[in-house]
Chains A and B, each alone.
Chain A
């Protein structure tokens, strides 16, 4: 039987307060004119991590990456890599390599020359360079393409050449700017796993910038969600998805139902929220940092709500509401239901299609009950 992955503290150094970070970004701010591209970002990244910076366009993620590579200098703050201050070190003197979004393959050089370029700059002997290049071509499965020019390659092959070139100098830290952005969906999924495999084999620390939340979720050990130049949340993929810390993060990752409510019971072991939008009370089975009569938001993922025709049990006289099926989106493995509540609010619910061609499944215009567990949603104050 296959062994489960070790979840010990040594594979998750960010959980260990004594662990020494490999990359330390301290209060970094970057201004372009009067615009804050990155404002006061502090971030620790540990050795062998695959860290994803996730954000929309203009969120500052690429600027942060370019500062790590040395193409931009921070307006204030400092960047440390492997214990050394890198803030004013030129890009060609950093132990860091970057894979560019456009791949930036040199059009006048063939694949081998592209990969060898960095090694030649280091003044390695010819034989050693040839060995390294061959080894890297094998790693990215392009052994027979060494003599090709970049324009003779497909998009996926160019992407692999770019990766090989960035890895050639055995950098301590590899920066990847939208590494899969230019590939089509199917190729992207394949390449994703290849990228993770290569990262695990070589043990290089990766920092990946992406706007694709699915990509970030499947690649990353940890994700840093960026919004308007600031880090909105840092956490493991499950933390980000299941325990978002703000309305922005909850809405940015995956789809979510958000409802407004007022705290009517605030106890150490539970909280009751009255929501006019939902038409019921929300019973949260753990303490929340809030005050009675406070206005807050409650967020729940579509797959955490159950639908039923009969009224389900509600132990706390809460967490059950009624609505009408307005739309159904059949996706094969699951169906997405849009439910119109009496208040006029619409909720999105997904149900797995466990029974094949179920004739008894819930259908359009049916009255249904919606219910959820007492710890299924997140209470958000910001």
Chain B
């Protein structure tokens, strides 16, 4: 109905403005020469220089990347196992409980999750002596916990579409169950694993609330550092950092799209 009219282009441009106007203004102002963020006074890359000269920022960024990498990887393994259990084994004791607990972090407020994890870590430290204090390990554990839920949801939907006869066919042709998993199941659910991992990585990189609860001295993640800086007034080097992150993310998304297009020229099942 709206195919050739004015409605679709206008709706689309409004949507794009909503999504990208803040990002574009951030990128533009990262090249602002002025030390007041909102006043444009000429092009400059000096805040990039300032950023790379700031060891606190760089350290926090590196820490956040490490945490995101490890928690996304752990969440991927645990979330996939969980999805396999829920999809493949239709009936087992505690299925309902597992399904419930897996989706709980999706709806639980971050504040509650963070507080609960903090209490757990404190209690564990006093009874088991591990983890000693809070820091990168506790953040990774906390992030894996809630990211796992997201991975599980993504992988579950892919597994639910999975034609079981593919695995049977491979087994019928002489592949042992382990081989079947690596030859058939894994390649077919790989797109879901990649997107699950990327989702977990982003969520971990992004998290402020839970990390604030479970981090310790000397383990401030990037969002925590930015947030504390912004409390004292936005400084332009934060803009520069954000621009770099946006650039990396855009490249990553672009690469992932290319990869997917190349592996599947059309939809696998037409």
Contact = CB atoms under 8 A, between A and B. Distances in A.
Partners in one complex: yes
A181 interface: no
Interface residues on A, range: 20 to 34
Given A102-B165, A151-B269, A91 B188 contact: no
B175 A92 contact: yes
Contacts, number: 66
A104 B184 CA distance: 11
Interface residues of B, number: 24
Contacts of B170: 106, 117
Nearest to B187: A108
Give chain B's interface secondary structure class. helix
B258 interface: no
A118 B174 contact: yes
Contacts of A70: 172
B30 to A, nearest CB: 42
B27 to A, nearest CB: 38
Given A104-B165, A151-B266, A121 B188 contact: no
Contacts of A165: 169, 173
Given A100-B168, A106-B166, A151-B266, A92 B176 contact: yes
Contacts of B265: 149
A38 B144 CA distance: 47
B172 A106 contact: no
A106 B165 CA distance: 10
Nearest to B173: A118
A122 B174 contact: yes
B171 interface: yes
Contact of B166 (A92, A104, A118): A104
Contacts of A104: 163, 165-166, 168-169
Interface string B204-224: 000000000000000000000
A166 to B, nearest CB: 8
A100 B269 contact: no
B188 A108 contact: yes
B35 interface: no
A121 B163 contact: no
A252 to B, nearest CB: 27
Q: Which of B163, B165, B171, B173 has the most CB of A within 10 A?
A: B173
Contacts of A108: 187-188, 263
Contacts of B184: 106
Interface in A73-108: 90-92, 96-98, 100-102, 104, 106-108
A92 B170 CA distance: 8
A8 B266 CA distance: 54
Interface in B240-270: 263, 265-270
Contacts of A106: 166, 169-170, 184
A173 B113 CA distance: 58
Contacts of B267: 151
Contacts of B266: 151-152
Report which residue of B174, B176, B263, B267 has the largest number of chain A beta carbons within 10 angstroms of its beta carbon.
B174
A117 B188 contact: no
A92 B188 contact: no
A96 B268 CA distance: 28
A42 B188 CA distance: 39
Contact of B173 (A101, A121, A149, A151): A121
A71 interface: yes
B179 interface: yes
Contacts of B188: 107-108
Given A107-B188, A108-B188, A100 B169 contact: yes
Interface string A107-137: 1100000000110011000000000000000
Nearest to B268: A107
Given A104-B166, A107-B268, A151-B270, A97 B173 contact: yes
B196 to A, nearest CB: 18
A53 interface: no
A101 B184 CA distance: 18
A102 B163 contact: yes
B269 A121 contact: no
Given A106-B184, A108-B188, A100 B268 contact: no
Nearest to B186: A108
Top-9 shortest CB links A-B: A118-B173, A121-B174, A104-B169, A104-B165, A107-B268, A100-B165, A108-B187, A91-B171, A98-B172
Given A71-B168, A106-B170, A151-B269, 6 more contacts: A92-B173, A97-B172, A97-B173, A98-B169, A98-B172, A151-B268
20 contacts: A69-B168, A70-B172, A91-B171, A92-B171, A92-B172, A92-B173, A92-B174, A92-B176, A97-B172, A100-B168, A100-B169, A106-B166, A106-B169, A107-B166, A108-B188, A117-B173, A121-B173, A165-B169, A165-B173, A169-B174
